[in-house]
Structure 1
Amino acid sequence: MAPLATTTDLESRLGRDLTADETARADALLADASALVRGYTGQDFTQVVGDEVVLRPVGTTVRLPQRPVTDVTSVVAVGGSDTIPDITLPVGSWTWDGIDKVDVWPPSTDWLLNLPETWSDGWGAVNTYRVTYSHGYAEVPDDVVAVVCAMVLRTLLAPSMVAGMVSERIGAYNYQVQQGSGSSGASVGITQADRDVLKRYRRKATTIQTRAL
């Protein structure tokens, strides 16, 4: 998955081009910072078309894990056996609220009459749905780009590869470690300030995601 910021974003914040040494490390650090942000928020941010996810509903509702949801194209009831095979739910048997919620029970169950008898008899045993949907931003939100760049620049501009070091003197060698700052040496780190910016993207509730079959 592509990083959430680019070397151009870093350079625009530095006001100069990256040096050769900085360029050599920048791509890996951007990838690491992006992975930490995605891990903390649970969001991809970049656009994905036709993503498939298998979820268990809460009652009759499935909440899609990635935001913003831009389209829902199909909902498949996962039967999980030869007796109750998977079946794509027909139009009208599910609704998307335009945000992130799919209701899988229709107002009327007359459409069940068109299904094989063994499947309709086993309807109550079906408790997972495979949803195909599209999600993500056309452009990564500015505050997310800013956090990723800040995480990378704290590491890229550190005077030493020693974690937490904020100053270094060569003559009569001396160094200073900043406590609790989140400064990094060789690797990026996410600070509480970063989390404060990102917390609005975290999901507060979702349905259980299962392994795709």
Structure 2
Amino acid sequence: MALAPLASITDLEARGVTVAAGEVGFVNGSLDSASSVIREAAGSPISEATSTVDLEGDTETRLRLPGLPIRSVSSVLLDGVAVTDWKLRSGALWRACGWRPGCDPANVTVTYVHGLPEVPADIVDLVCRMVGQALLVFRESDDALTALADKPLSQERIGDWSATYSFAPDYSVMELPEKIRNRLAARFGGNAQAVKSR
């Protein structure tokens, strides 16, 4: 099941952005896209989710779970067999005898609840800013195809008006600067390995 966007049209409107009826579909798609980009950078759903992950078990006593913060764990399987001799400590499962029963690598399947019950205000704001930029491009375009082309203004002159647009193929209003990507990864736990969310 797809996760809900990290912000809504109501959040945009609370920031003074009016969304016309003909823009709702575009804005909802942009909210989904911006949320996906932010979640990918964070390595976490950010908002509360129930996930099942498959992790490689080894001889270490701690098995770190992706998608901080970890709120609860409902099921742990070691090579398909339920285990209960673990404790949840600081976003990791601790088990005295480690996570590999023999010499071969083990598969640990964990079902757990993680993320925050309420999306932090700065994350909502970041999504709204990204969507606001996309909406500006959409409104300035003659057609939807031009809006999707993302041609940011890179230079403008007022006397005898002139404008220069960047057509860099790697640019998008849905891109996050490296500094913000690093901050999100550090804050929410880095690399998500969730294989299934419910």
The bucket for the TM-score relative to the shorter chain is 0.7 to 0.9
Cα RMSD after superposing both structures: 3.5
Distance 1:194 1:125, change over 3 A: closer
Q: Which residue of 1 aligns with 2:11?
A: 9
Q: Which residue of 1 aligns with 2:144?
A: none
Moved more, 131-140 or 195-204: 195-204
Structure 2 CA distance, aligned partners of 1:18 and 1:39?
Answer: 26
Q: Which residue of 2 aligns with 1:87?
A: 81
Equivalent position to 1:100, from 83, 87, 91: 91
Distance 1:197 1:104, change over 3 A: closer
Q: TM-score, normalised by structure 1?
A: 0.68
What is the Cα deviation at residue 27 of structure 1? 0.3
Distance 1:150 1:69, change over 3 A: same
Structure 2 gaps of 5+ residues are 142-146
Partner amino acid, structure 2, of 1:95: K
Q: Secondary structure at the match of 1:150?
A: helix
Structure 1 gaps of 5+ residues are 79-85, 108-121
User: Deviations for 1:72-123, whole angstroms, at most 9, x for unmatched residues?
Assistant: 1232111xxxxxxx32113xx21111x311122359xxxxxxxxxxxxxx64
Taking every aligned residue pair, what percent have the same amino acid on both sides? 28
Q: Secondary structure at the match of 2:57?
A: coil
Higher normalized strand content (fraction of residues): 2
Size of the aligned set, in residue pairs, is 179
Equivalent position to 2:117, from 121, 138, 141: 138
Partner amino acid, structure 2, of 1:54: D
User: Deviations for 1:8-39, whole angstroms, at most 9, x for unmatched residues?
Assistant: 111111x2521234323100111111111111
Structure 2 CA distance, aligned partners of 1:210 and 1:42?
Answer: 9
Partner amino acid, structure 2, of 1:88: A
Matched, 1:52 2:38: no
What is the Cα deviation at residue 44 of structure 1? 0.6
Q: Which residue of 2 aligns with 1:75?
A: 76
Identify which of structures 1 and 2 has the higher relative contact order when contacts are C-alpha pairs closer than 8 Å and 6+ apart: 2
